[in-house]
Structure 1
Amino acid sequence: MSNILHSQDTPTLDSRMPESRPDVLAHVAGNVRALRAERGLSQDGLATAADVSRRMISGIESGEANVSLSTLDRLAHALDVSFSRLVRPPEMPDNSRIDSLAWRGQSPDSRATLLGTVPAAREAELWTWSLGAGEFYPAEADAANWHEMLYVMDGALTVEVEGADPRRVERGDFLIFTSDRPYLFANRETEPVRFVRNVVF
């Protein structure tokens, strides 16, 4: 029950999801190989550092192994990278949109999706928000290195950041952005919007 998806599995996601999401093993094999090579480690060396078997390392790098989230945590620690760096698509310049299915249980309703990450120096605040139809919330610029992480549960949220195009975030989708410029949350729809907001600084 603690395993992430096998790289050849194709998850069936419900209609609330805006799009099919890949599982994290789609990128782990290549990332582990590349990171291990950068650090000059053999498969045996990485296995020893991560306290796993060489067979497990070989299976991960060939895309043939099921692997637990805790094993990926140990690999990330041994390679001196974050978990998100280990599992993100290699073409992504940062971790702001990983959007990969990380765990699936026996029930089709049981799943965990890693949406994205940002670095935190001090604290992270977790909020639930709702805006009625036509309501908006303007915010002043935050300090450097502050981030907003939003996930829309119902309705659609429009996010406007000074100097950037407005973003309409629909139910089941998310947005992560740096909040060092003035920004606005707006409900330009006819129904209320509910969303989860993380403020990270």
Structure 2
Amino acid sequence: MADVLVHVGANVRRLRAAAGLSQAALAEASGLSRRLIVAVEAGDANISLANLDRLAGVLGVDFGTIVRDPGQAGNQRVDQLGWRGMHPDSRAAFLGAAPARNTAELWIWSLGAGDRYDALPDAEGWREMLYVVEGVLIVETAGGGKVVTTGDFLIFDSSQSYSYVNAGQSIVRFVRNVVS
């Protein structure tokens, strides 16, 4: 599985040029700094998933188009590493996307012992569906924490800040579907 930043840089540069935008114009439209846009296009930026989604929106494409291997355009399978945590067992792989009302994404996540992922709110109308394959996942939202154990699932509105937390001593693995 290739590192997503390698593909993001090539895709952002190609899509920005096709849209006739300068790096400064893309930065202004997305609310990101020009320095970050330059670093993203060079494949050097550790950009958040939320900011990748913002770039996709400005460029008029879905998240999968931004992170997909440019040689795999049109393929629903993405299979790209999208996030690494502090613990070596913590990572998220964006597996694929399929059309929905707007879009649907399939991810496989793992969080090492004591690690967490803090997310910014998605756009209104987005939902997450999580299925825990191994361990115990805590999902924190403004409404409190929900504990999801192995074999159980949770569906929630992700247009709010939320966090995935592994408070245990062993790895937690879960499948994440994001739909709009």
TM-score normalised by L of structure 1: 0.50
Contact 1:84 1:95 in 2 (8 A): no
Matches within 5 A, 1:1-201: 21-121=1-101
Distance 1:93 1:65 in 2: 22
Distance 2:40 2:63 in 1: 15
Distance 2:102 2:23 in 1: 36
Contact 1:95 1:118 in 2 (8 A): no
Structure 1's unaligned 5+ residue stretches are 1-20, 127-152, 154-195
Distance 1:109 1:123 in 2: 28
RMSD, aligned CA: 2.6
| Superimposed CA distance per residue, residues 132-175 of structure 1 (whole angstroms, 9 cap, x where no aligned partner) | xxxxxxxxxxxxxxxxxxxxx7xxxxxxxxxxxxxxxxxxxxxx
Which of the pair has more CA radius of gyration? 1
Distance 2:84 2:45 in 1: 15
Q: Runs ≥4 in structure 1, deviation > 4 angstroms?
A: none
Structure 2's unaligned 5+ residue stretches are 107-132, 134-174
* Number of residue equivalences: 109
Q: How much has 1:122 moved relative to structure 2?
A: 9.3
Percent of residue pairs identical: 55
**Larger helix proportion of the pair:** 2
Q: How much has 1:28 moved relative to structure 2?
A: 0.6
Q: How much has 1:121 moved relative to structure 2?
A: 3.6
Q: How much has 1:123 moved relative to structure 2?
A: 10
**Larger strand proportion of the pair:** 2
